[in-house]
Structures are given as structure tokens and as C-alpha cells.
Structure 1
Amino acid sequence: MSSRQDRPQIPATWQRCDTRILPLWWDRTCAQMGEQSATLYAAGLFTEDRRRPIAQWFNPAFRAALLVAPETSPEWPVQRFGIFYAPPEEGFVRIHSAPHEWNPRQPRTSPTEQEAFQAAIAEAERFLQVEMDFV
């Protein structure tokens, strides 16, 4: 696992805000899929303040966001963190990345939930670095 010092520097325009899922996610999901489909997407990811942990960045200048959150239903045997990107202005996409999974039935077996979460955060931070080259 990489240390904080090994991680890329996050561009200053991106603010970390992990307290609650931004309303932007619900708005964009509804606009893209319709409210009924949005409610079901990724086990209800954007319809409620989900179980933790989450990591989230927001760029108010571009009205863009990046989210790392559990995307599988709690009853699934293998859990997974997804990385979601809301580009400037409209829409959202799931970032295809390495699987950031853990098995809740074996909480001490690697990768643990914390290890999977930290790996997803590191990948999201790398994405922000690359994305800023194109924005």
C-alpha cells in the first residue's frame, strides 16, 4: 500500500468533501437515466447517504466531482468500491479501474475493506491528476 507521500498532489481546484454525498450526483443521475432507474443504480448509491466510507472531491469552478463509494449491495458476498466521475456541466460515468474489492465475511484477510478503500482513493487521485490535463 502506498503512503500519503507517494500519492500525486491533488490540483488545488479540487476540494475534498466526505461529509455527505453531493446533491449533484442525484441530479445528474436523474437527468441521465430518469428517477426510477437512478433510484436503483449501483444499489441505490446516489439516492441516500450511503454506508461509509466514502471519499469525494468537488471542483466548484467546473461543477465537476469525483466519488469513491461502496457500489455493491450490502448483502453481496464480495463488496466493491466504485469510482464515479461527474465531468464539467452534465452527466456522470463510472471510471473503469482495478477491482477494489474485499470480503466482509473474512474481515482480516487481505485485501481488507480499509486496504480496498485506500487503493480506490489512490486510483481516484491519479485520475484527478490526469483529468486536469484535459480540462
Structure 2
Amino acid sequence: MPSWKFHSPPPATWQRCDSGILPMWWDRLCAQTGQQSAALYAAGLFTDDRRRPIAQWFNAAFNAALLVAPETSPEWPVQRFGIFYAPPASGFVRVYSAPHEWHPREPRKYPTEQDAFRAAIAEAERFLQVEMDFV
């Protein structure tokens, strides 16, 4: 059984909110890279808010967030979920992790999109647990 199936939920201060991408992602990325570069980042993820599924956590006390979302262009033969972190107060970083990939041209072949998404969520939740030790 994959190790991502056994994990603890994220700390209570991190609330899940998947309805739409938080505006803070765009604001922080623009501040760090400029508006033109931000528009191209992760295949336009932060300009279009059209790509699903996403998983997102927000910590209002620290003004921090974590996002799991597709980071590759839809036409690529291999799709990948990325994990993005907005640390307390300011900044924007991509969390480097195991590749959470799937092949859309072979939708029933393991790992499927759902398998990759679940694994990325599990890794993101582990990141939140570790991050709370440093905040």
C-alpha cells in the first residue's frame, strides 16, 4: 500500500479552501517576478483559475497558504501536480517534492490523475506539519 495513504491531517490552524485560487498567490508572485512572468508561471495557473482539481490551505493567523495544482500545460503528454507555498507575511516558493505525475493519454494506467492528486495532497499535508515546527 502506498505510504501516502497513512498520514495525519494538517494542523488545525490550516483551513482547507478549494473553491477558488486565493488572490494572494497572484499578488505575491507579481511582487516577486513581475506581472509578465507571473502570467506565464505554471502554465497560466494564477491568471486563469480554470484548472482543476486544486487543494488549498490558508492560515489566517500567519497570512500563509499552500496550494496543490496542475503545473504543466494541458497539451503536455505528462501532467504534474505542483505544490506551492506562500510563507508567512510575504514571498512565494515552489515546494520541491516527489513528482506527482500522470499520463492523460493513458487515463486508466497507474498512476491516474486521481492517484497523483491524492499523493500530492498527502505530501502537502506532511509539509504543513513540518512547517508548523518552524513558524
Aligned-pair RMSD on alpha carbons?
0.8
Q: How does 1:34-53 map to 2 (within 5 A)?
A: 34-53=34-53
Given the two structures, how large is their TM-score scaled by the length of structure 1? 0.96
| Counterpart position of 1:29 | 29
The one-letter code of the counterpart of 2:109 is: T
Unaligned runs of 5+ in 1: none
Q: How does 1:1-135 map to 2 (within 5 A)?
A: 1=2, 2-3=4-5, 6-135=6-135
2 CA distance for matches of 1:50 and 1:56?
14
| 1:77-105 per-position Cα deviation (integer Å, ceiling 9, x unaligned) | 00000000000011110000000000000
2 CA distance for matches of 1:58 and 1:40?
24
Give % identity: 79
SS in 1 for 2:48: coil
Q: Looking at secondary structure, tell me which structure has more helix per residue.
A: 2
Unaligned runs of 5+ in 2: none
Given the two structures, how large is their TM-score scaled by the length of structure 2? 0.96
Count residues with an aligned counterpart: 133
2 CA distance for matches of 1:94 and 1:66?
10
SS in 2 for 1:53: coil
